Structure 1
Amino acid sequence: MTPRDREIAEGSLLLSSLRRPVLDGLLGSARVRNVQRNGTIFLQGEQATAIFIVLEGWVKLYRIAPSGAEAVVGVFTRGRSFGEAVAFRNDTYPVSSQAVTDCRVLRIEAAQFLRLIEDTPGMATAILAATFTHLHALVAQVEGLKARTGAQRVAEFLLELTDCAEGACEVTLPYDKALIAGRLGMKPESLSRAFSKLRDHGVTIKQNRAAIRDVGILRDYAEDDPASPWVR
């Protein structure tokens, strides 16, 4: 584990509230895993024995429906953890995990974490905080699917990527458009239509780059209530 790896892990929501001795004990037994793009981290139905923190790159969680269709549950990047809830219950993973890009993940054995919880009850707060964050993200995802148009969901996605508070900005799409569509609950053809619609709001897509003419205008569009024309 490099000093940068440790810095990212210590800054994650799962570990950031832990005291130094506890961190040292936990990270001392953790292992870094390099995973190539499209590599599997774990499969749906496998015994959940570990928790993971993304150190570099992007990881997706997905389920395969009985029909064979893939449903993207979440996409995680640097500093985000996943697998906590089921690993602590000694359950099976309800989703599969795959590297979207070449990535590095930190594997922490759940048994080690549970032993430390017994000795340090305050660690439970960290687990609850991480679990709440995942739940909040899922609630926001459901809300977006129900309360936002496809183009608005794409606008919100682009705004999450930008580090500009206002004015013009350019962002790089972090992974392919098929996965973006899956994450946003859309079909690829619907994503293409959404990109086209966003041209009217100052967004130009060229390959994996998105140029935003004005972040404030795009934010106003993303936050606008689609039902507002019906209630004015």
Structure 2
Amino acid sequence: MPGHRDGWGAVKTVNKMLRLNSRDKNTLLRTSFLSQLGPTAMASMMEIANISNFEARDVLFREGEPADCFYSVLSGYVRLYRLNKDGREADIRICGPGDTFAECLLALGDKYLYNAQAAETATLARFDLQRVRALAEHEKDVAKSIIRCLSDHLRATMDCIANDRLQTAPQRVAHYLLTHCETEGGPAAIRLPFQKSLLAGKLGLAPEALSRAFSTLRRVGVIVRGRTIHISDVSALKQI
């Protein structure tokens, strides 16, 4: 399957198919789509899976292109976004290891609904839509898994909309930090697994809005040094 280098217009061929190593297999087995499948359905899905590497900024597909597969992230991060006619980008979701995307097309649709770009070097499993649809006709576990994934995404979308409307930018950042903090009180340090620009997209913020939010959080002891975020008092952050 071809990839594209955003901003350059050149077409780049994806690396040849890879073998599924034990780490990637464990990640794949933990995805919401595969984790509850029975042995027969699981074996069929693993047979369908094609494993590929993508480099940072490779475009997996573009909005409106014919859809032939959905994806599961095994390592790295993938950015889902849309563009308006003026070229302005809006992030929809940042997908990390264990996340799947474009599986909504299993139920309905033959064109991709957004753009997908590797945010950094990533290993992905690709599943042919037609083969999975055919499998779902005979394997109830696969059909149930499709329904479960669609339900999970609907609930996540509702939570995202609610947070956008109920939380300020500093509150969104504070909530993210608290959910990734291993201590209940006192000082803590968190290292972001990706660039701050991706964190902005994940939280539905423009990069400049994220910077302002971190500036606001300095008064409760949040200090940013590269990808490492130091929190002087977790309890104080909870009061934001």
The TM-score with structure 2 as length reference comes to 0.85
Q: Deviations over 1:44-91 (max 9, x none)?
A: 111122111110011110000122110000001111111111244242
Query: Per-residue deviation at 1:40?
Result: 1.1
Distance 1:15 1:31 in 2: 15
Distance 2:75 2:183 in 1: 22
Distance 1:105 1:152 in 2: 32
1:18 aligns with 2:37: yes
Distance 1:214 1:148 in 2: 21
- For residue 92 of structure 1, the aligned residue among 86, 89, 111 is 111
For structure 2, the residue ranges without an aligned partner over 5 or more in a row are 1-19
The TM-score with structure 1 as length reference comes to 0.88
Distance 2:235 2:145 in 1: 35
Where does residue 230 of structure 2 map in the other structure?
211
Query: Per-residue deviation at 1:114?
Result: 1.2
SS at match of 1:122: helix
Matches within 5 A, 1:220-231: 220-221=239-240
- For residue 110 of structure 1, the aligned residue among 119, 123, 129 is 129
Matches within 5 A, 1:152-163: 152-163=171-182
1:82 aligns with 2:101: yes
Q: Aligned Cα RMSD in Å?
A: 1.7
Q: Deviations over 1:181-205 (max 9, x none)?
A: 2332323222211101111222111
Q: Percent identity?
A: 31
Where does residue 51 of structure 1 map in the other structure?
70
Contact 1:49/1:87 (8 A) holds in 2: no
1:152 partner letter: Q
Q: Greater share of helix residues, 1 or 2?
A: 1
What is the aligned residue count?
221
Contact 1:158/1:171 (8 A) holds in 2: yes
Q: Deviations over 1:148-178 (max 9, x none)?
A: 1111111122234334454432112233233
2:81 partner letter: Y
